[in-house]
Structure formats: C-alpha cells, structure tokens
Structure 1
Amino acid sequence: MVYYCALTNAPPTKKLLRPLALVAVIFFTVSGGPYGMEPLLGYGGHGGSLLILLLTPLFWDIPTMLAVLELNAMMPVGGGYYQWVKRGLGLRWAFFEGWWTWLYTFVDLAIYPVLFVQYACWFLPGLAAWKIPICLGLIWSCAGLNILGVVPVGRASLILGTAVLIPFIILFGLGLYHLGPAAYAFTPLSLKGVGFSAAGMGCYTVMWNMLGWDNTSTYADQVERPARSYVVSMGIAFVLVLLVYVATLMTARGSGIGADVLRDNGFPALGVLVGGRVLGILLAAGGMASAVGLFAAVLLSVAQVPKAMADDRLLPSKLSALSPRFGTPARSIVVCAGVVSVMILWTFMDLVVIDITLYGAALFLEFITLVVLRIREPGTPRSFRVPLNVTGLCVLFVLPVGIYLFALNGALTDSGSAWKPAIFALVLLVSAEIAWQGVRWKRAQTRKMDYI
C-alpha cells in the first residue's frame, strides 16, 4: 500500500509536539474558552440556549472528530485534510478543500485580533481608537511565533490555556458560593418561543465556538506518536471544552444577567456581577489570552495547507519553501498573516456566518473522503477505526449536514442582515471552481512550455 510521506524538509532530529501540549493546541484551535459565545443567551433564552449548546456538539463535533481520527490514523501527514481528500477524491477536489479552508481560515483569523482589542478596552477604553495598529501587532507577532516552529506554539498554548481556564474556574466556584446550587438547576430544555432564525444563529454561534478538529491534523508529522496522541488529546480537549462551556452558560443563566448586557459587554461583565471587579479583570485578561492563543494555533494549522498545495503546483511554488533555520513554511505564514491584516474591519457575527458556511463545505468533502476510502481501501491499516460500516458512516454524517443546513437556512431567512454574509459565503464557495479553472489553464501552459 502506498502512503503519503510527510511534507517537510526539517531535520529528522527536530522536537515533536507531545500529548499534553497537543491538548493545549487542540483546545485553542477549536475553542480557546467560551469567549465569543456571549450572544447565545440572547438567541436561545434560558432553556433554548442550553439545549442548543448540548445538541450542537452531538450533531456537529462528534461525527467530525470520529472522521478526523480515522483519516489521521490512516495518513498522519503534513497537510492533513488536503492530503486525505487528494488521496480519496483526486486533485481537483483536494484543491477545492484547500481553497475553501484557506478562505474560511482567513475569515476565522480576522475575528481574534478584533476580540483581543474588545477585551483590552476593558482596561483602557481609549484603545478602541488604536484598533488597527494593535490588531496588526498581534497578527505579526503570532506570525513570528509560528515561524519559530510547532513546539514554541505548543508551549505558548499551555501558558495561555492556563490563563484562559483559571478565571472561568473561579467564576464557576464563586457562582456556586454566591448564587447557590439552586441557580444551576436544569430548567426545562426547550426551543419554545425561539424563532427559526434565532435558533439558526444560535447554532452558528456554538458551531463557530467548536470548529476546527480537522485543522489539528495538518501538523501530524510534527506530533509524537500521532495516531495514539490524537485519540487521547482530542478526547480530553472535547470534554474540557464542553464542560467549560456548560458551566459558564449555567453561571450566566443563574446570575440573572441580561442577554443584551452579556452580548454587549462580554464575560467580564458577568465576572463583575458574580465576583466583583477583580474577577472581571481576570476574565478580560483571559479574553486577550484566548485571542492570542487562538490566532497562533489556527495560523499554525492553516499555514501548512498552502505549502502542501504549492508542492502539487496548485499555488505558487515559493509558498512551499521552508525556513532553512526552523523548517517551517515561513512564506506561507507571511502570506496568511498579510491577507488577514486586511480583513480586520468586519463585524463579529458576519465573520461567524461566513466562517461556518465555508468550513462546513470543506468538512463535507472530508466525510465523503472517509466513505470512499472505506470502500476503496478497506484493508489499509488504521490504528483507529470508527466502529461503523459504510452505511453507518453515511447515517452518522447526516447529523452535521443537517445542523449545517438548519443554521444556514436560519441565516438566510434572518430579518436583519445575517443573510448578506451567508450569500457572500455561498459566492466564495463558487469561487473555488473559477480558481481551479485558472490553475488548470496555468498548468496546461506550463506543460506546453516544457514540451517546447
């Protein structure tokens, strides 16, 4: 059986990412803490918000994690999902996968510097006037960290992860002490009174706060014992993310904070209500740490894909060049940071809608790839296999497709402005075919020149 080799020219003695650091990187790639989940209470109310939070990971994240774990167990290679789709569906669909992923990650990355400034303004409101320089400073600082390699990013993620989690642990503990256990009692979980569009936007909010499991595969060749490490680290990260989200949402519900106050002022306002100004400061600092950690971790994953595509002559060959000192795709990292630098003026929820719409399309190609490889290569060794046959996999993947379509319809039928970014995202999906035709033409011209 033919296996794809790891796409790296780094020296064989390079340091590898260990399981504990991998948990931290995965945590930041898919979550970074509850920051950004503040609008959920307004969309779903007390009963509906918790129901959306519990059901969305069941429909969206668990099928994704299972697919990623099996595909990664087959091919723990640099480039991750791009290489999987190329092997299963061919070069054209691999280009679509890489193109859509590149687009949605630019959108995703643009969110975090903006969030950083919002939480920094908790300390100095005047910083809002310096939004652009601060965002650019964050973008290029994280780009420099990524050029140093995966291990520094992993170490930074461990430190930042601690800074994110401790304030929420304190929030939950003080909530139990001041509000009492009765405030955390489960109210009836129901979407009664929640409009279709509001439920859809609530799903978008949770989906954005728990996406990116496949992004963690793009540096699998830089992970110690990747097949085993990913199964353990991904499971720990999922449980940790869900527990933090549920505890935070239940604290917000029990505190009686207004949905508008939470949406407009964020979790620092909840911290002040529950534990005083010091806790509000800790949560604001945690929000800044979360933004930095998310940006660094997501940039780490996406910078590997243009490099892999450039190796296949789908993007300019210069993007495949590795830093001679650090063995990282430095040019790819710089290009990604440059594109994100021009996208930081968009609004948060617009970016979320575009992000999920693009990401879902790329994710579905990975689902199809797993089914195809199960049929075509049933005997290929896998250290992890989803305990379902081909029919069971198809049924399983109906769940994320269903919630994706539900959220998209909610945005398209929104009476506000959510339909505009949804339409824009659909246009961006179509752009993959236009770009592919351009690549085909250029490759044809190159072959003609080689023949001459």
Structure 2
Amino acid sequence: MMQQATSQLTHLLEQNQQPATPKKLHLLPLVFLIFFEVAGGPYGEEQAVGAAGPLFAILGFLIFPFIWSMPEALVTAELATTFPGNGGYVIWAHRAFGPFWGSLMGSWKFLSGVINLASYPVLCIDYLKLVIPVISSGFPHYFAVFLSTCVLSFVNYTGLAIVGYTAVTLGVLSLLPFVILTIVAIPKIEPSRWISLGQKGVKKDWRLFFNTLFWNLNFWDNASTLAGEVEHPQSTFPKALFSAGLLTCLAYLIPLLAATGAIPLNQENWVDGYFADVAEIISGKWLKFFVEIGACLSIIGLYEAQLSSCAYQILGMANLGILPQVFEVRSTHFGTPWPGILLSTLIALAVSYLNFSNIISCVNFLYSLGMLLEFASFLWLRRKLPEIERPFRVPLGPPGLIVLCIVPSGFLVYVMVVATKTVYLVSALLTVFGVLWYFSMKLCKSRMWLAFKNVEEKLADEFD
C-alpha cells in the first residue's frame, strides 16, 4: 500500500514538473542560426588577402564553397533529414558504427565546440574595451568576461525560438554596415585591383590562406544537433542549408570585392579587423565605428548559435543512452536543456581564462577527426541502410559519393598533417579522455550507478 502511494506521489510530481513544450524552429531562424554556426559575416576573411593577394582571396571565397562547403552541407542535409533527432552527427556515427564511435564523435565535437565557445566573450570584450577602457585588463576584464558569458548563456536558456529570432536580428544588424560600405565604395571601385596577385616582395603564406578559407567556411553540420527542434525538418533543413549557403557566400564575396576594388592594396594591413579601417578610409570614422559594433553583434550571434549546438548535442547523447538521463532534463518554463547549457557554460568559463592559441589548434584537429568520422558514417549508412527513406538524398551513386567526400577529406588531412607536436599531444590526450569517458559511462550503466536510457541496448544488435 505504501509503495503504491509513493508511486502515485512520484507520478503526480513528475506531471507537475513537466517542461514547457518548446516552440519549434521555423525556416528563417534556422537559416540565421546556420549562418552564425558557419560565418557570422565577413569578419575574419581579411587574412586571405594578406596571405595571397586580392585575386586568390576572391577566387578562394568563390571556389572553395563548392569543393568544401557544398559537400559538407549536402551530407548534413541528407543525414539530418534521414535521422532528424537532437544530437546530429552523434546519431549518425552511432547508427553507422555503434555506441563507442557515437560517444567518441560526441567527445570530439563537443570539446571542439565548447572551447570555440569560450573565445567569443573574450573577443566581444576586446571590442568593447575600445569604448570602455577600464575592462582592458585585470579584475575588470575577467569580471566582464564572466558577466558577458553568463548573460549570453541566460539568453540561450530562455528558448531556442528566442535565440533563433535573436540570430535573425543580429544577422541583419551585423551585415548592415557592409551593405553601406559596399554602396559607398561602388563609385571608387577599380576592377583592375581585383586581379592583383599581391604586392611585389610580399611572400605568399599558403598555409594561412587555406586555413582562413577553411575555418571561415566550415561547421555546416553544427545545426544538425537541433534537428529535433525544427518544424518539419525533412523539408526545412535542405531549404535552410541552401539559403544559409547563399547568404554566407554573398556576405563574404560582396564586401571583399568592394574593399579590394575601392582602395589601393597595402597587403600588410590585411589582418583581422582591417575591414573597420577600410570603412574609415572609404566613408569616415562613423562607418568604422558601425563595423566594430557589427563585429560585436556578430560575436554574440556566434556564441548563441554555438551554445545551442553544444547544449542540444548533450541532450541528444542522453537520448541515445550515451550520457545519463539527467542531461535530458528541460526547463519547466522554457523547455530548454538547461543541464547542457550549464555544462557548456562552465567549461567555456574555465577555458576563457587560459591562453588558448595552442588549444584552439587542438580544437581544429579534433574537429577534423570528427568530420572524417562523419564522412565515413555517411558512406557506410548508404551501404548499410540502402532502403531507409531519405527525404533529401544526395543525387549520386557510390563512386560519386566517394569523390564528394574524398575532396574535403583531403583538406581535413592537410590541417592535421601541418599540426605541431603540441597539438598532436594535447589532441591525443583529449581523445584518450573521450575513450575513457565512454568506458566509465558504460561501467556506471552496468553497475546502475546512474540512470540511462535503453536506446543503446536496443540498437546494440546491429553491431554484434
């Protein structure tokens, strides 16, 4: 009798603590979330001009999307519509090769994402300190990073739909100064400047050039972790990826053409942040200030999009039984996965106070490992599950699919080959951590120390 009463009481408590039904993401917010996952605007593309000159920079941002971004986006569109659940690439690796590889994919992608996340509040404060000098260093600087991280994370906690429409607003405002810059620059453009191979005596830095292209045009798969929160993902995801791809290419190319065509080339000046100086040269200090404000807004958008991806990846891993069920908990008011948001925020705060030049390189290495596993999962799932319904299907046969994946995989291998010994060491340690984490979770499950979903067991027969 007592057991029955306790059971009824538990049931009533669970009913009262049911999370709010989260609003689904529609097409426009998803487009801008993908845009911020990948780019966030032309901020950061300046180094391509400094490394190889205007012509190669223009050709790079014109051609590279077809040989790198398009394959990644096509793979994401097919897999996200075929397996439209939270977790994205973790689900794909799990279905293709089993729970171990799903967990390792989750470790690689989560670590790369959350450490990237840590850099955004720091960059935001770096821009704000131009207006508020007191936060340049010392305790005020650290407190400003802490406060901005907490505030931005709270916005994420208030709901993915709010984050999506915030991304739309931030996207429009951060791109507006470049629309103005382009219009003002048109009368000053000399097309002959576009075909410049660079200044004489300035050596080309191809490693910097390709890294700039690579890291300004990747992460197309990050939004796949939100697939379970998208309205009609089978039709919405392909449209959103295509629209975000077009927006990203235009956001890079048009300002680049305007800036390189309107001012004489001084290649050494083309470093991160130079667009603000270009704006001042073309139209005055007011436009430079507008570009700097746009950069700050873009960073906020990058943070919100990346945090959403990390948090819903954690939720998806709990749904798969890779992480404990506690990570499935959602806010009772907003329906957001607050344990994933909290975990991502705490790690980002810890990393944000470190010197992470080498750590960011390790993050890139881990991301490359994850992408190689993602392409392998895509090809294997085509062979393993040929009859499964694919609402969006890449229109290629096996040979074409292999070529589609091999070309971008070559760039991933290049990024890994040119890494330093420190990067190899730290990446190896983080990978070992991911392996140990999987077996520790497996031990917790077998000893029933923590509660897990049984999805993993249901799918285990596929890999025996």
Aligned: 1:408 with 2:403? no
Greater CA deviation, 55-64 or 165-174? Answer: 55-64
Structure 1 partner of 2:151: 141
Letter in 1 for 2:130: W
- Amino acid aligned to 2:434: A
Q: Which residue of 2 aligns with 1:308?
A: 316
**What do residues 318-352 of structure 1 show as CA deviations (whole Å, max 9, x unaligned)?**
22211122221101101100100111245676455
State which of 217, 223, 226 in structure 1 corresponds to 2:233.
226
Q: Is structure 2 residue 247 aligned with structure 1 residue 240?
A: yes
Amino acid at match of 2:217: M
- CA contact 2:46–2:274 (8 Å) conserved in 1: yes
Residue 432 in structure 1 maps to residue 434 in structure 2:
yes
Query: 5+ residue gaps in structure 2?
Result: 1-17, 453-464
1:386 maps onto 2:388 in alignment: no
- CA separation in 2, counterparts of 1:112 and 1:34? 16
Aligned to 1:173: 183
**Partner residue, 2:457:** none
Residue 160 of structure 2 is aligned to residue 158 of structure 1: no
Counterpart check, 1:397 vs 2:405: yes
Task: State which drifts further: 82-91 or 279-288.
Answer: 82-91
Q: Report the count of equivalent residues.
A: 431
Report SS of the residue matched to 2:448.
helix
- Counterpart-to-counterpart distance in 2, 1:251 and 1:449: 57
Alpha-carbon distance in structure 2 between the residues aligned to 1:379 and 1:98? 27
Which has the larger displacement, 259-268 or 20-29?
259-268
One-letter code aligned to 1:146: N
- Alignment identity in percent? 28
Describe how 1:51-450 pairs up with structure 2 within 5 A: 51-129=59-137, 130-177=140-187, 179-182=188-191, 185-187=194-196, 198-254=205-261, 255-256=263-264, 258-263=266-271, 265-346=273-354, 350=358, 352-412=360-420, 420-421=422-423, 423-446=425-448
Displacement of 1:110 in angstroms is 1.6
Distance in 2 of aligned mates of 1:436 and 1:224: 32
Give the Å deviation of 1:447: 8.4
Query: Which runs of 5 or more structure 1 residues have no equivalent in the other structure?
Result: 1-8, 413-418
> Is 1:167–1:279's contact at 8 Å kept on the other side of the alignment?
yes
Distance 2:206 2:82 in 1: 37
- 247 and 449 in structure 1: CA distance in 2 versus 1, 3 angstrom threshold: closer
Residues of 2 paired with 1:410 and 1:42: CA distance?
A: 20
Contact 2:26–2:231 at 8 Å: present in 1 too? Answer: yes
Task: Output the CA distance in 2 between the equivalents of 1:340 and 1:402.
Answer: 30
The one-character-per-residue Cα deviations of 1:126-160 (angstroms, maximum 9, x if unpaired) are 43223322222222112111211111001111110
Instruction: Please tell me the residue identity of whatever aligns with 1:182.
Output: P
2:53–2:196 contact (8 Å) kept in structure 1: no
SS of match in other structure, 1:378 = coil
Partner of 1:6: none
Deviation, structure 1 residue 114: 1.9
RMSD across aligned C-alpha pairs, in angstroms? 2.8
1:276 positional shift: 0.8
The offset of 1:162, in angstroms, is: 1.0
* Letter in structure 2 aligned against 1:365: L
Q: Aligned partners of 2:168, 2:272: CA distance in 1, in Å? A: 29
Which residue identity lines up with residue 230 of structure 1 in the other structure?
A: F
| Alpha-carbon spacing, 1:270–1:165, altered in 2? closer, same or farther (3 Å) | same
Counterpart of 2:186 in structure 1: which amino acid? L
1:4 corresponds to: none
Post-superposition shift, 1:63? 0.8
CA–CA distance in structure 1, aligned partners of residues 182 and 240 of structure 2: 24
Larger of the two Rg values belongs to structure: 2
Query: Is the Cα–Cα contact under 8 Å of residues 160 and 308 in structure 2 kept in the other structure?
Result: yes
AA paired with 2:103?
Answer: F
Q: Kindly state the Cα deviation for residue 360 of structure 1 after the two structures are TM-superposed.
A: 1.7
What SS does structure 2 have at the residue aligned with 1:446?
Answer: coil
Match of 2:11 in 1: none
In the aligned structure 2, how far is the partner of 1:449 from the partner of 1:44? 54
CA offsets per residue over residues 243-289 of structure 1, 9 Å max, x none? 22122333443323644434265422221122210110110000110
Is the contact between residue 122 and residue 284 of structure 1 (CA under 8 Å) also seen in structure 2?
no
Q: Distance in 1 between the 2:448 and 2:345 partners?
A: 29
Larger deviation, residues 386-395 vs 149-158? 386-395
The aligned residue for residue 12 of structure 2 is: none
Deviations 1:46-81 (A, max 9, x none): 333334433432332111100000001211112222
TM-score by length of 1: 0.87
* Secondary structure at the counterpart of residue 97 of structure 1: helix
- Code of the aligned partner of 1:246: L
CA–CA separation in structure 2 for the residues paired with 1:150 and 1:27? 15
With 225-234 and 258-267 compared, the bigger mean Cα shift is at 258-267
Question: Deviation of residue 188 (structure 1)?
Answer: 5.7
CA distance in 2, matches of 1:331, 1:223: 20
